[in-house]
Amino acid sequence: MQAPLGSVLREIVRELRNRKWSCLLVFMAVSAIGLSAGIFWPLKYTVSETIFIDDQNIITPLMKGSAVTSKVKDKVSEAKDIILGRNSLGRLVEYQQQLDNTTYDDLQREKMIVSFRGAIKIQKAGKQFFKISYTDSKPDRAFLITQKIGQLFLELQEENRREESRNAYSFVDKQVKAYQSQLREAEDRLRLFLTQNADGTESGVQAKITQLKSQIELAELDFEELMSKRNSIKKQLGGVGTSITNKVVSDNNSQRLKVLQDRLDTLRLSYHDSYPDVAALKKQINDLKEESLRPKELSQNRTVEETISFDNPLYVQLSSELSKTETAITAVKTRIDSLNKLLNVTHERMEKVQANKAQLAELTRDTNVNRGIYNDLLRRRETARVSMHLNTEGQGTTYTINEPAIYPLKPQGIQFIHFALASILLGIVAPIGLAGVFVQLDPRIRDASTIQEKLNIPVLATIARVVTPREHRRERFRTVVIFVIAGCFVSLYLVVGWLKYTGVINA
């Protein structure tokens, strides 16, 4: 039965006295097991290197906009991808084979790769730094493997960067050639369409239509002006006589000849010599000249009174203006008709242009889109070319070992001294703990207070156990033997621990 809290400690001490051999065995077993665990516990030596990422060198501002330098978005993630990849770990396994001077089969290689993945740790160590750590049971191997990891990372990172630049350039170059072919085909289709449909563009045809309408309007205005002018001239002709009649008294032909000559000169200002009136006047003048050559006695002292009729100069001028106006009206009508016919033809062109507008827009759009993409890819190809040269020359983002690996002098984590101290302390505490648990779980009644508290039965008296002198001597001897054995065990424990600590025992 569970003892009261006040008597638990007393009962634990009693159990420890009564079970000295059991306590000794528990102490020795726990301490021995802890010491053995410490002896065979593998030591862990951890070596680390710190890598610096330099992405702010002088090339960056100089080549800004002309090249794409490699940027580290996530340093830890990129380092893990490179270092923990099969390519890197495969090289580490080959290096391990060289160190051990042995050869691994496929199964052993896979186990080594899994082991390396568990032993390599990559941590961020600042804005531009990250740390590579490797843990191994041997300090030499931990140091060499860590150095090799750093070298492999720099080599693989450089190879990956150059390969990435070459692949990017090759990809962009293929796209440039593909879009160059597409652009050539689109331009050929557009050129063939324009050749087969040489009707101009909608804006050009519309401008032509506007120009023709403007010319027709101007011609119609000219036609109206000419019609108005013709009507005005006809009204003026209605009030003007065709000829002028004068009575002339002359004693000779010289006066008539002068009048006819003046009239001829007037008509010649407006007409050619073939004009009928001009020809008649010339004939009259010639007749008078012939008559003046006759004998003087026939014409001398002869006085003639005659009436002379000749064309009205104003009538002649108005008739000339009317003829010119009629000719101009005919010309304007012809021009208007020609312009209307040309306008109808242009409208037909507009209908054809509208019918081909969608197809032309599609061909033009395809050509412009392909040309824009092609020009952009050309610029990107040159950018990729410069970037590839930068990576080949080792410019752009570079990685350097900021803190190299240092040979480990002490192991990391739990060591043998921790096992030694913890196991002997645990060996001392274990019997006490087991005794306490036994006292709490033992169903027997160990104290009178238990009867009073648990069963509510009053206790009148208790009888103590009587120990004889012989039992007392035997108990004392047993105690001395137990302490001697415990001292020997502790001495052996300390000797083994010292030998292990100094390296004499190397499990």
pLDDT digits (tens, 9 = 90+) for 61-113: 434 444 444 444 466 787 788 888 888 888 888 888 888 888 888 898 888 88
Instruction: Identify whether residues 69 and 163 lie together within a single domain.
Output: yes
Instruction: Identify whether residues 80 and 36 lie together within a single domain.
Output: no
More confident call, 349 vs 299: 349
pLDDT digits (tens, 9 = 90+) for 3-31: 555 566 777 777 777 788 888 898 889 88
pLDDT of residue 124: 84
Does the pLDDT at position 302 exceed 60?
Answer: no
pLDDT digits (tens, 9 = 90+) for 357-372: 777 778 888 888 888 8
pLDDT digits (tens, 9 = 90+) for 167-220: 888 888 888 888 888 888 888 888 887 777 666 677 787 888 899 899 999 989
pLDDT of residue 70: 46
Does residue 375 belong to any structural domain of this protein? no
Does residue 372 belong to any structural domain of this protein? no
Instruction: Identify whether residues 163 and 58 lie together within a single domain.
Output: yes
Section 412-441 average pLDDT: 80
Instruction: Identify whether residues 394 and 453 lie together within a single domain.
Output: no
What is the percent of the chain where pLDDT is above 90? 2
Does the pLDDT at position 499 exceed 70?
Answer: yes
Rounded CA-CA distance 294/288 in Å is: 10
Instruction: Identify whether residues 333 and 466 lie together within a single domain.
Output: no
Helices (H), 239-312: 253-268, 276-292, 296-299
pLDDT of residue 181: 87
Instruction: Identify whether residues 341 and 218 lie together within a single domain.
Output: yes
Instruction: Identify whether residues 343 and 224 lie together within a single domain.
Output: yes
Instruction: Identify whether residues 32 and 51 lie together within a single domain.
Output: no
Task: Give the pLDDT band of residue 417 (cuts 50, 70, 90).
Answer: confident
Cβ proximity of 501 and 416 under 8 Å? yes
Does residue 486 belong to any structural domain of this protein? yes
Does the pLDDT at position 256 exceed 60?
Answer: yes
Does the pLDDT at position 392 exceed 70?
Answer: no
Does the pLDDT at position 59 exceed 70?
Answer: no
pLDDT of residue 250: 52
Instruction: Identify whether residues 10 and 79 lie together within a single domain.
Output: no
pLDDT of residue 66: 42
Task: Give the pLDDT band of residue 337 (cuts 50, 70, 90).
Answer: very high
Domain that holds residue 35: 5-41+415-502
Strands across the sheet containing 120-124: 120-124, 129-136, 45-54, 398-403
Contacts of 378 (CB under 8 A, 6+ apart): 176
Does residue 181 belong to any structural domain of this protein? no
Residue with tokens 């006695």: 297
Pick from 176, 142, 224, 228: which is nearest to 405 by CA? 142
pLDDT of residue 341: 92
Does the pLDDT at position 421 exceed 50?
Answer: yes
Task: Give the pLDDT band of residue 449 (cuts 50, 70, 90).
Answer: low
**What pTM did the predictor assign?**
0.47
Does the pLDDT at position 122 exceed 60?
Answer: yes
Both structure tokens of 360: 């032309």
Residue with tokens 């004068």: 246
CATH of the domain at 154: 3.30.70.1130
pLDDT of residue 241: 66
Task: Give the pLDDT band of residue 156 (cuts 50, 70, 90).
Answer: confident
Does residue 103 belong to any structural domain of this protein? yes
pLDDT of residue 193: 77
Instruction: Identify whether residues 82 and 222 lie together within a single domain.
Output: no
More confident call, 303 vs 186: 186
pLDDT of residue 27: 87
Mean residue pLDDT across the chain: 77
Residue with tokens 């191994």: 136
Does residue 231 belong to any structural domain of this protein? yes
Does residue 459 belong to any structural domain of this protein? yes
Rounded CA-CA distance 503/412 in Å is: 16
Pick from 227, 217, 215, 223: which is nearest to 333 by CA? 223
Instruction: Identify whether residues 223 and 127 lie together within a single domain.
Output: no
Lowest mean pLDDT among 56-60, 142-146, 249-253, 308-312: 56-60
Section 382-386 average pLDDT: 78
Does the pLDDT at position 425 exceed 60?
Answer: yes
Pick from 391, 338, 89: which is nearest to 212 by CA? 338
Total number of domains in the chain: 3
Does residue 93 belong to any structural domain of this protein? yes
pLDDT of residue 493: 83
Instruction: Identify whether residues 356 and 422 lie together within a single domain.
Output: no
Pick from 408, 402, 406: which is nearest to 75 by CA? 402
